Amino acid sequence: MSRTLPPPPPRNSQRGDRHDDKKRRLRRGHIGHSSNRSQLDEDLESMFSSLTIDNIPAEANSGDCGMDRKRKSYKDQAGVENMISSLAIQEAAVTNSVYRGQRKKFSDLILDDRKILAKGNSDCNDPGSRSLRSKEFIEGINDLLLRHQGSGVRYFAVHFDLNSTHAVYLDKWVQFASKSDAKYVTLHLCENGISCSRHSVTASRYNFPLHCFGDGRGSLLRKLSLTNCIFSTPVHSSGFSSLVQLSLRRVTTADSDIQNIFSCFPVLRDLKLQCCEDLVNIRISHETLLELHISCCQKLKSINIHSISLDIFEYDGHQVQIKYESTPSMRRIAIKFVDRNCSLPDDLLAMERLKKVTLWFLSPSEEPSFILHAKTFTVLQLVSLSILPSWNNVLAVAYLVKATPSVKRLHLEACSGEHHYLDNVQVDWPEHISLKKLRTILVGGFAAQAPLVELLAYLSRVATRLKLLEISPHHHRYKDSGRCVSEDVGVEAAWDHARNAARATIGLKLQSTVKFVVK
């Protein structure tokens, strides 16, 4: 006897049942939001309040802290979905983005006024308004961090005008970054779009708690960038074995702190010091440092460098004494003195790997310093010069290239179209000069300045194997080094005049083997 099977249910009914069931589940979850919200806030508050400076060393001394963090991370991540379902719709977006970061095992937290504050706030210059904005900003960050799981943060950055009066909050945020094993940390405590020089917060700068990362548990921090802070280093610390880049801008720090940096950060590769007003005599002694950048340190008097691995050194500021005690690996040097012309230091003779030097000649009335170039620097192959085209300056350039007979590429950048010279001046160019290896001359900011025209004509005569001379009225770089021609009224006519003058005064004097390009 055959049994009659019941007909299968329609597909649409199954889909409808599932759809209705999903609706019922969503409604139940939404209704339960108000009852579970208070308990959720208490749990998050407890999680965030556990991040304190005092308990970091205590946890670091526990041998099971690594396993505890792992177990806690697994438990926290398991509860992320429950947290999302219980949050309001307008709040779930932030948490959901954090959850996606958890699935990727890292997330980036870049906290600034554009992301935290509501648009259209009142005038930032009003003290009352700034206080309200600071309060709103702090509350916004605290609320966001309460929703974060506290692990898997790769980049943690705060960009806002805060100082020592907000230290209790900043300390919490720095602890959060440390606990989260952040690799890149930035504190830019300035208003967005406003130069730090306009902030009178020197007396109330935030003291960065470096010990939060150097607690002995092996910090993963690789890059630290601070602006408008106080930075002091311990005499001995072994908790920064991963930091490779340190940037200090408008930071209160002492000469002794700079010396201690290299004992605290044994693998540091890149150091930037900008507008650090308290530095006077800097001594750089490190075996792994590759790049050193120093600029606008007003009280600075001397820089002594002892680093066998240093590859790049750049200085921008008033004239200081620079001594290269031991830099055999140096490949590139860029020096800019804002108050006088530069020259090649005698220490370059010991840098056998040096290939490129960038110098500035910006003083219009200074006597030519060609006496300082009595020695010959045969190692240099690329020379880049930014000049204010006066007769003294172009004469100094001529003596400089005479001292670098192996140069293959010369870049000249004229920083101004203004006249800093007299016309029809007879110049005694250096004799017995040979630039047989010079193949390329590039000129930017050309405005038919008489000294520059004569310099190029002279160089084309002594560079017997020159292959390319390229002239452009446009500025290639160093736009902040002087007044650019491109900012003048009637710039197109000025450019055309410069191009025609180049063809008439220089192009006709070149040999047929030289490729002449006017852009």
Report pLDDT for 225: 96
pLDDT tens digits, 149-201: 666 788 999 999 999 999 999 999 999 998 888 899 999 998 765 544 444 44
Domain contains 307: no
Which residue range(s) make up the domain with 58? 31-104
Residue 242 reports pLDDT greater than 70: yes
Of the candidates 247, 236, 245, 107, the one whose C-alpha atom is nearest the C-alpha of residue 181 is 107
Report pLDDT for 313: 97
Residue 50 reports pLDDT greater than 60: no
Q: What are phi and psi of 311, to 5 degrees?
A: -105, -40
**CA 207 from chain center: how many Å?**
21
Beta bridge partners, 51, equal none
- Alpha-carbon dihedral sign for residues 211, 212, 216, 218: negative
Average pLDDT, integer, range 13-26: 46
Strand, coil or helix: what is 386? strand
Residue 96 reports pLDDT greater than 80: no
Counting the structural domains of the chain, the total is: 2
pLDDT tens digits, 424-454: 778 888 888 889 999 999 999 888 888 999 9
3-state secondary structure 432-492: CCCCCCCCEEEEECCCCCHHHHHHHHHHHHHCCCCCEEEECCCCCCCHHHCCCHHHCCCHH
Q: What are phi and psi of 315, to 5 degrees?
A: -135, 135
Report pLDDT for 439: 96
Instruction: Provide the residue count of the chain.
Output: 519
Instruction: Determine the Cα–Cα distance for residues 403 and 408; give it in Å rounded to an integer.
Output: 13
Residue 56 reports pLDDT greater than 90: no
3-state secondary structure 176-192: HHHHCCCCEEEEECCCC
- Hey, how many other C-beta atoms are within 10 angstroms of the C-beta on 437? 15
CA dihedral 495, 499, 500, 501 (to 10 degrees): 100
**CA 491 from chain center: how many Å?**
32
Residue position matching structure tokens 């100094």? 396
Instruction: Determine the Cα–Cα distance for residues 345 and 324; give it in Å rounded to an integer.
Output: 9
Domain contains 469: yes
- Hey, how many other C-beta atoms are within 10 angstroms of the C-beta on 169? 17
Is 471 within 8 Å of 447 (Cβ atoms)? no
Residue 29 reports pLDDT greater than 50: no
Which of 46, 75, 104 represents a domain boundary (last residue)?
104
pLDDT tens digits, 360-383: 988 776 665 555 566 788 889 999
Domain contains 198: no
Average pLDDT, integer, range 398-412: 92
Domain contains 213: no
- 256 Cβ contact partners less than 8 Å away, ≥ 6 residues apart: none
User: What Å distances lie between residue 501 and 443, 450, 473, 495, 512, CA to CA?
Assistant: 14, 10, 11, 10, 19
Which of 71, 104, 137 represents a domain boundary (last residue)?
104
Of 424 and 320, more confident: 320
Report pLDDT for 93: 36
Strand, coil or helix: what is 91? helix
Least confidently predicted of 15-24, 58-67, 161-170, 262-271: 58-67
Domain contains 189: no
- Hey, how many other C-beta atoms are within 10 angstroms of the C-beta on 497? 14
Instruction: Determine the Cα–Cα distance for residues 98 and 156; give it in Å rounded to an integer.
Output: 13
Is 207 within 8 Å of 86 (Cβ atoms)? no
Report pLDDT for 98: 41
pLDDT tens digits, 125-138: 455 566 788 888 89
The secondary structure of residue 252, as a DSSP letter, is B
Which of 104, 123, 145 represents a domain boundary (last residue)?
104
Instruction: Determine the Cα–Cα distance for residues 411 and 403; give it in Å rounded to an integer.
Output: 16
